[in-house]
Structure 1
């Protein structure tokens, strides 16, 4: 089979444009706990887990548990995706190409499984596997999430390509032994081995992915 044999997508900011929904959720939930949440807080928790944001709210005095605040955040985001999954530009056509080529794909994310499942339901024939924060003991930047994704798809990590928009995710995929396509995100990602940068999500087509080479 041609390279890549599988494609593994990060979720927020790579596959779907849910960063605004998460930002709105954090502001809403923080407000219910008589706290504020601003852009600086968004950047401080970018690339981390939902639990990181919930933990910060608890540290600031929220009386609910980290688990309960996490649930509140996820519920707010899922509610905002009720009518349509906000796939980023170029992603729907890429998913169609992968489906037609029979190339399996998965979501590998630090986000919650409940949110990722809402997204996978928008492309159920392609996004057949999910690795979320709920499924691993060590989140990105540890390689465990991407290794788990490759294992679920039955493809060696070296034969997979990952798509990411943040440094923790890129580190995770590279450490797992994958070539990573880096799409624009809120924070710049440093150059490095096995990192291929594109100017826009729309630049990532199946032909582009097939032009890449696996790590040596």
Structure 2
């Protein structure tokens, strides 16, 4: 049974959750490494997936790209923007319909990402007008918001929206992001991503983004007896 009073807000990850940018970030990092005569491998991508920019900077340095933090950050940003501007970003199938439902119902949303705030704002602008009222990204991390897997970013998004975190839903695709949502005490929906998210308490896994719907999110209300997040629910792996 669904609950019409739930959720009060939906907090979305960005890359791989709203838009399929993960391969584009990889392309940008590979181009930067090649510019300095180095190779960015699939292992490097896996080690930095869903992690904050400083993790990528450290990995670049490990493979031999010798730039100071400020220059490295700017280089990563410029290569990323170049790749993203050449691509035609669209919402992943299933996501657009959910965003329309949330907009029609008046449920606000936020984007919470460890990646660049500017790209996240571009995505927010492509959604129904006024839906994404908060964007948490690398600019916020630089200002003191602790990145995923710390829960701080999701808790900050809920606070800025003026809603109780426990009455929100997080939508994620990465292990670090899912861990962040669970640590924040927010029911977390996991859609398929590049890196598998292990099953565990606090998570609901979907087979595809196409399964996303407002009805599904409403059914996760922890106050509803049928909800997998109800205190009396029995968790099964």
One fold, TM greater than 0.5? yes
Q: How does 1:85-100 map to 2 (within 5 A)?
A: 85-100=89-104
Tell me what 1:74 maps to: 77
Q: Describe the SS at the equivalent of 2:110.
A: strand
> Is the Cα contact below 8 Å between 2:178 and 2:188 reproduced in 1?
yes
Q: Describe the SS at the equivalent of 2:199.
A: coil
Of 90, 98, 109, which residue of structure 2 is paired with 1:105? 109
Residues 11-39 of structure 1 deviation map (CA, whole Å, 9 limit, x = unaligned): 11111100111010010011111111111
Residues 29-86 of structure 1 deviation map (CA, whole Å, 9 limit, x = unaligned): 1111111111111111112122211221123332322332222222233333337433
Q: Describe the SS at the equivalent of 2:126.
A: coil
> Which structure is larger by alpha-carbon Rg, 1 or 2?
2
Task: Flag the 1:114–1:65 CA change in 2: closer, same or farther, 3 A.
Answer: farther
Structure 1: distance between partners of 2:71 and 2:36: 12
Q: Specify every segment of 5 or more residues in structure 2 that has no aligned partner in the other structure, as ranges.
A: 223-228, 232-237
Structure 1: distance between partners of 2:140 and 2:79: 21
**More deviation, 5-14/130-139:** 130-139
Residues 125-177 of structure 1 deviation map (CA, whole Å, 9 limit, x = unaligned): 21221111321332111110000010111111000000011111111111111
**More deviation, 71-80/139-148:** 71-80
Structure 2: distance between partners of 1:46 and 1:80: 17
Structure 2: distance between partners of 1:48 and 1:79: 21
Aligned length: 216
**More deviation, 109-118/145-154:** 109-118
Q: Specify every segment of 5 or more residues in structure 1 that has no aligned partner in the other structure, as ranges.
A: none
Tell me what 1:3 maps to: 6
Q: Scaled by the length of structure 2, what TM-score is found?
A: 0.85
**More deviation, 50-59/197-206:** 50-59
Of 133, 136, 149, which residue of structure 2 is paired with 1:131? 136
Q: Describe the SS at the equivalent of 2:171.
A: strand
Of 220, 229, 234, which residue of structure 2 is paired with 1:212? 220
**More deviation, 81-90/143-152:** 81-90
Q: How does 1:11-26 map to 2 (within 5 A)?
A: 11-26=14-29
Tell me what 1:149 maps to: 157
Structure 2: distance between partners of 1:72 and 1:117: 20
Tell me what 1:171 maps to: 179
> Is the Cα contact below 8 Å between 1:184 and 1:199 reproduced in 2?
yes
Structure 2: distance between partners of 1:8 and 1:61: 36
Q: Describe the SS at the equivalent of 1:128.
A: strand
